[in-house]
């Protein structure tokens, strides 16, 4: 049976990394469990304590219908009204911000993308797969639009006009999906397009090239999708969503920017180099050598992890713009290094030490832009060349260590965690974790040596010294 990519079906919990960062992260080099004080609350407890990302409070204030940011239903619409973006409105009276939106029997028209991302072969999907995802808001709840191409099943791989008439998710080579009211706990409704066509003007195959085109007469119908067969079934009396004239335009391997604002971003490009160190021992768990990947730094440069092969140790620190503990830890580290965190100051203090500071979200829990990245690095006295963005708005499923066989869908650190398993465990139906998150690799062969949740009895300065001293 063919493998399909259906967001959240296999996730034990869907968590958008917009949670609390509690107390400071230490950074004094003591061998204690300081990182336990930095834990994010579980998805069910978001907004209940600490410094939370600005748009993630579990209340129904200003929300008339549908779910809030934590998935709790705030109300339903009656009298034939439909729920759009938390407000009950007349059918067809929704967000019609695309040119030529059909209005006939449509419950919804148009889609206003504020963020777009396009990827070849993302880590959480089957091979020979392309995915474009657009979002109508920077933070949940959001509506999402997807263009999926399964190359092994006749999906497009170049410019042209492609018909979607009669599509079923079980066997479509080109699949157009949409979801509404998506939060950390999943989406309220799913839609599949089975009318119209997609005009692709540009279909880049390399990072930085464009994916550009438009919809012609496209109509989505509300569906249910069987998690085993992937067969989509139209919901009797369900909603229809017309998107004639919708235009997409973004860079492959990029994110950020709306319909008319293609942007850069922090997703790993499809042409990341194959492993160049580590031999046959490539894996994602402690004791294995970490495979090669690329992230974009604040200067807009894509950098290979394996460019640091041959060093003594590589320290990766995951942060977020809204995390006060991250700022405290970085300020302490900068002070210990003579006032700034840079390749030169790291080398002077610990010869052979490399560092990657990786930003998962901006101050409001959204996708960091290059401008935000630069401002973050400058304000915390970090060299922008070693400060990186890692956020996949489409979500990436990261395997849990407990219970085995389950995963959590994350946006922040999507690339890092795909290559360096963070050793997350479920607590009931939720997963709790925190920032700053630290990992230490052996520079000689990129062997994964330690991370916060693998061994909470030590903090990163001790792990670094053990690696540098050859322990």
In a domain, 72, yes or no: no
Percentage of the chain exceeding pLDDT 70: 71
> What integer pLDDT is reported at residue 173 of this predicted model?
93
Does 423 lie in the same domain as 299? yes
In a domain, 308, yes or no: yes
Q: How confident is the model at residue 101 (pLDDT cuts 50, 70, 90)?
A: very low
Residue 114 has pLDDT above 50, yes or no: yes
Of residues 227 and 242, the one with the higher pLDDT is 242
d(CA 324, CA 277): 36
Residue 351 has pLDDT above 80, yes or no: yes
Does 285 lie in the same domain as 233? no
The last residue of one of the domains, among 224, 251, 278, is 251
Does 277 lie in the same domain as 243? no
Residue 230 has pLDDT above 80, yes or no: yes
309 secondary structure, DSSP code: T
Q: How confident is the model at residue 419 (pLDDT cuts 50, 70, 90)?
A: very high
> What integer pLDDT is reported at residue 67 of this predicted model?
57
d(CA 440, CA 465): 10
The last residue of one of the domains, among 202, 224, 251, is 251
> What integer pLDDT is reported at residue 56 of this predicted model?
38
In a domain, 401, yes or no: yes
Q: How confident is the model at residue 24 (pLDDT cuts 50, 70, 90)?
A: very low
Q: What angle do CA 469, 340, 392 make, to 5 degrees?
A: 85
> What integer pLDDT is reported at residue 100 of this predicted model?
35
Of residues 363 and 52, the one with the higher pLDDT is 363
Q: How confident is the model at residue 142 (pLDDT cuts 50, 70, 90)?
A: confident
> What integer pLDDT is reported at residue 126 of this predicted model?
64
Does 308 lie in the same domain as 223? no
Does 277 lie in the same domain as 226? no
Does 302 lie in the same domain as 166? no
Q: What is the pLDDT averaged over residues 387-396?
A: 90
Do the beta carbons of residue 117 and residue 267 sit within 8 Å? yes
d(CA 305, CA 448): 13
Does the CA dihedral 83-89-91-94 come out positive or negative?
A: negative
Q: How confident is the model at residue 373 (pLDDT cuts 50, 70, 90)?
A: very high
CATH number at residue 331: 3.40.30.10
Does 153 lie in the same domain as 228? yes
Of residues 259 and 286, the one with the higher pLDDT is 286
pTM of the model: 0.52
The residue range of the domain holding 152 is 82-251
Does 342 lie in the same domain as 200? no
> What integer pLDDT is reported at residue 258 of this predicted model?
45
Write the pLDDT tens digit of every residue in 38-49. 333 233 222 222
Does 150 lie in the same domain as 92? yes
> What integer pLDDT is reported at residue 32 of this predicted model?
31
Residue 285 has pLDDT above 60, yes or no: yes
Of residues 119 and 380, the one with the higher pLDDT is 380
Q: What is the pLDDT averaged over residues 10-22?
A: 30
Q: What is the pLDDT averaged over residues 257-282?
A: 48
Does 111 lie in the same domain as 36? no
Residue 192 has pLDDT above 90, yes or no: yes
Q: How confident is the model at residue 22 (pLDDT cuts 50, 70, 90)?
A: very low
Domain count, the chain: 2
Residues 6 or more apart whose CB falls under 8 angstroms from that of 211 comprise: 118, 132, 200, 202, 203, 204, 248, 249, 250, 251, 252
The last residue of one of the domains, among 226, 251, 276, is 251
Q: Which residues pair with 195 in a beta bridge?
A: 219
In a domain, 9, yes or no: no
Does 298 lie in the same domain as 343? yes
291 burial (CB, 10 Å; 0-12 / 13-18 / 19+) is buried
Does 292 lie in the same domain as 388? yes
In a domain, 12, yes or no: no
In a domain, 77, yes or no: no
**What element of type H or E holds 466?**
helix 460-468
In a domain, 180, yes or no: yes
Quickly list H helices, 206-360. Answer: 324-336, 343-349
In a domain, 199, yes or no: yes
* pLDDT-wise least confident of 32-36, 61-65, 116-120, 323-327: 32-36
d(CA 31, CA 91): 60
> What integer pLDDT is reported at residue 90 of this predicted model?
59
């Amino acid at each position: 049976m063919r493998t399909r990519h259906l967001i959240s079906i296999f996730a034990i919990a869907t968590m958008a990394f917009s949670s609390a960062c509690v107390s400071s992260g230490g950074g004094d080099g003591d061998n204690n469990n300081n990182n336990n004080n930095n834990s994010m609350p579980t998805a069910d407890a978001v907004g209940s304590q600490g410094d939370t990302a600005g748009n993630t409070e579990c209340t129904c204030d200003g929300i008339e219908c549908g779910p809030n940011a934590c998935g709790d239903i705030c109300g339903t619409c009656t009298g034939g009204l439909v729920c759009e973006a938390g407000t009950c409105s007349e059918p067809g009276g929704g967000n019609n911000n695309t040119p030529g939106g059909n209005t006939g029997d449509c419950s919804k028209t148009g889609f206003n993308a504020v963020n777009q991302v396009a990827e070849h072969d993302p880590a959480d999907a089957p091979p020979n797969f392309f995915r474009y995802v657009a979002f109508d808001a920077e933070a949940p709840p959001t509506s999402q639009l997807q263009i999926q191409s399964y190359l092994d099943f006749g999906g497009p791989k170049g410019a042209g006009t492609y018909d979607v008439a009669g599509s079923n998710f079980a066997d479509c080579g080109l699949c157009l999906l949409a979801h509404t009211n998506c939060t950390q706990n999943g989406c309220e409704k799913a839609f599949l397009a089975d009318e119209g066509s997609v005009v692709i003007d540009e279909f880049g195959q390399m990072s930085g090239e464009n994916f550009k085109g438009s919809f012609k007469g496209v109509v989505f119908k509300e569906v249910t999708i069987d998690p085993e067969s992937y067969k989509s079934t139209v919901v009797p009396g369900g909603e229809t969503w017309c998107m004639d004239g919708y235009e997409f335009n973004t860079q492959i391997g990029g994110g950020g920017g709306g319909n008319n604002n293609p942007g850069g971003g922090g997703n790993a490009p499809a042409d990341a180099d194959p492993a160049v160190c580590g031999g046959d021992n490539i894996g994602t768990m402690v004791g294995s050598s970490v495979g090669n990947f690329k992230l974009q730094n604040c200067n807009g440069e894509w950098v290979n992890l394996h460019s640091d092969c041959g060093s003594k140790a590589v320290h990766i620190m995951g942060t977020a713009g809204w995390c006060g503990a991250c700022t405290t830890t970085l300020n302490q580290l900068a002070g210990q290094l003579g006032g700034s965190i840079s390749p030169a100051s790291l080398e002077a203090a610990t010869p052979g030490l490399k560092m990657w500071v990786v930003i998962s979200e901006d101050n409001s829990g959204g996708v960091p832009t290059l401008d935000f990245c630069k401002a973050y690095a400058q304000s915390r006295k970090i060299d922008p060349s070693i400060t990186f963005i890692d956020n996949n708005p489409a979500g990436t499923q990261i395997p849990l260590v407990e219970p085995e066989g389950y995963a959590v869908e994350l946006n922040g650190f999507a690339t890092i965690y795909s290559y360096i398993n963070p050793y997350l465990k479920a607590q009931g139906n939720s997963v709790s974790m925190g920032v700053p998150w630290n990992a230490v690799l052996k520079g000689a062969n990129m062997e994964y040596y330690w991370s916060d949740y693998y061994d909470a009895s030590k903090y990163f300065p001790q792990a670094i010294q053990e690696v540098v001293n050859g322990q």
